[in-house]
Structure formats: C-alpha cells, structure tokens
Amino acid sequence: MHNNKITFFELIAQIEKKYTNKNINNSLIYFFSQKVKNLTELLVHRNEQIDFDYNELMIALDDYYNKHKPLTTITKQRHFNGINLKVFDKVHYPRNETELLAEKIEEVLAKDSTLNSLIDICAGTGNLGISIKSHFPKLRLSLLDIDTNAINNIRFNLDNNKLEARIINQDFFEFIKTNTEKYDVIVFNPPYVKKEELDLEMIKFENKISFSNSDDPLEFYKVLLSSLDKVTNSKHYLIGIEFGYGQKQDLEKILKSVNLLQFSRFYKDLNNQDRFLIIYR
Ligand SMILES: C[S@@+](CC[C@H](N)C(=O)[O-])C[C@H]1O[C@@H](n2cnc3c(N)ncnc32)[C@H](O)[C@@H]1O
C-alpha cells in the first residue's frame, strides 16, 4: 500500500499494530522526517501529513523487524559522545558502552594540559578520536585502521565535523614495527573476540576483522603494551583501552609483566562488567 497522505498520528497507529517497539518506530520516523526529530515535535505535528515516503519507512521497518538489521545499519548514522557520525557499509558501528571510554579519557584531558597529541588505533568510524578532538580542538589527532572502508568513513566524519587529523591506513602490527612518531594519548579498541565465539549472523553487516583478527584475542593488547616506548612520549602518557568480557585477569598479567599495573585502573560498563582500562603515568 502506498500512503503518503496519512498523518503522523494515523501512521503510528497503523505501524504499532505490527511493529511493537515504539522507540524503534519513532527513531525511524525521526530519521526520515525533516520536521519531526523528537517526541515533542511528533506531538506538535501529529495531525499533519507525513513529510517522507511511506514506502521507505515500511522497508526500513521490515529491515529492522524481519531482516534483523541493526538500526545503525539502516540509518547509517550514529550519535556518539556529543557528535553525529556517518557509519559506512561494513564498518564497525560505535557501541553505546564505548562512550564510557571516551568519557574516562576526557576526564584526564580536562585536568592535564601536557597531553597534546592523540592516536586512535583501530579507529573504525573514528568515533573515539574525532569526538574527543571535538571537545579538545587543540589535540593533534591521528587515526589508524587497516580497513579502507573505515579510512574513507573516518575522512568523511572528519570533514563533516570540520576537524583535521592525520589518517593512517595501516596494519597495527606493521605500524608498531615502523612508527617513528610519539603520542601522548592512545585510544585503543581493537578486535578482541575469540574466533570460535564469533557470531557471524550477528555481525554480518560489519567487517569480521573488527571483532577478530588474530588467533589470540589478546594479541593486540600484548603487542601494544610491550611496545609502548615505540609510540608514547617518554614516561608521561595516557592510554585508554576497551576489552572483552572476562579478559581483565589476562590483562592484569600482561600489565604486571611490563611493570604497568601500578599505573592502571579498570572500569566497568553499564552491565557491571569490567570493560575498560586506563593507564596514566
Ligand atoms: C572493535 S572495532 C573498533 C572501532 C572503533 N574504534 C570503536 O570504538 O567503535 C576494531 C577496528 O579495528 C580495525 N582492525 C582490525 N584489525 C586491524 C589491524 N590489524 N590493524 C589495524 N586496524 C585493524 C577494524 O577494521 C575495526 O575498524
């Protein structure tokens, strides 16, 4: 049925019969509509005709409810740590919990004006580095990813947010061997899922290497933490890391082996699981 003449109110009444999650339905309406971007505007305009193509909304609802596409894969956009990001096809979309890592990094940056350069390694859409730079514009920002789609996505998000940075399209392991720059801050959310625990159905809209790209899920952490002298400035730096469920104890062992445990602090996510590590010295 093609029905562009119905009002917002009639539309909602109609779709709710079939699609039960009101938050998702409204989010998609806000995405397609020019004049309705939140609940208040929806109430104000409820008796006016919809200002977008009814069929496009139906396709998006079908994608979400029946084809199980994540909302971000449909809208290709995401609000993260105060900025709007585009998410390109097959690029890892920023998860809500990762905002906590950005928050922890920013808490230290707000207090320590000697931290002037930041590299976001395994940057994806650039969500961490770009959002942090938007709040600390003087930071010299670099972003690294192996995936060309991610690199194009980062370039777009920088332009869109009117920010500049150095973009490095390189394998992290190669970077560690060849890098000559020193950074004050490193943010690091690498692939950390065990190969055998990958749920290919769940991640089919993103690139698999975002989740697992080594036989050892701790490999990225081991290599970074044992090579900090190659990437950081002397003895004063800040490192923010995201890691997976159940990996805290292994990370503690790695930190101990490189004499960094005393500078380290772990943080939990909203599900009360240890997920973030801040090293500050
Ligand atoms: C878990 S995602 C994190 C994306 C983003 N930083 C975030 O917080 O949402 C991991 C990213 O690492 C990249 N990646 C995977 N293997 C890599 C490697 N060997 N070298 C550099 N980047 C890699 C993937 O392309 C992906 O963008």
What pLDDT, in 10s, does the model give residues 65-121? 999 999 999 999 999 999 999 999 999 999 999 999 999 999 999 999 999 999 999
CA torsion 145→218→105→279, rounded to 10°?
-130
* Cβ neighbours of 108 (radius 10 Å): 14
Residue-range domain boundaries for the chain: 8-68, 92-280
CATH 3.40.50.2300 fits 92-280, yes or no: no
The answer to whether 82 and 135 have CB atoms below 8 angstroms apart is: yes
Q: Is 122 in the pocket of ligand 1 (CB under 6 A)?
A: yes
Q: Which of 145, 148, 152, 179 to mutate to test the pocket of ligand 1 (most atoms within 8 A of CB)?
A: 145
Task: Find the length of the chain.
Answer: 281
Q: What tokens appear for 244 in the block? A: 């997976």
Strands 185-188 and 140-145: unpaired
Q: Is 153 in the pocket of ligand 1 (CB under 6 A)?
A: no
Per-residue confidence at 36, pLDDT binned at 50, 70, 90? very high
Atom of ligand 1 nearest to the CA of 187: 6
Lowest mean pLDDT among 31-40, 146-155, 197-206, 248-257: 197-206
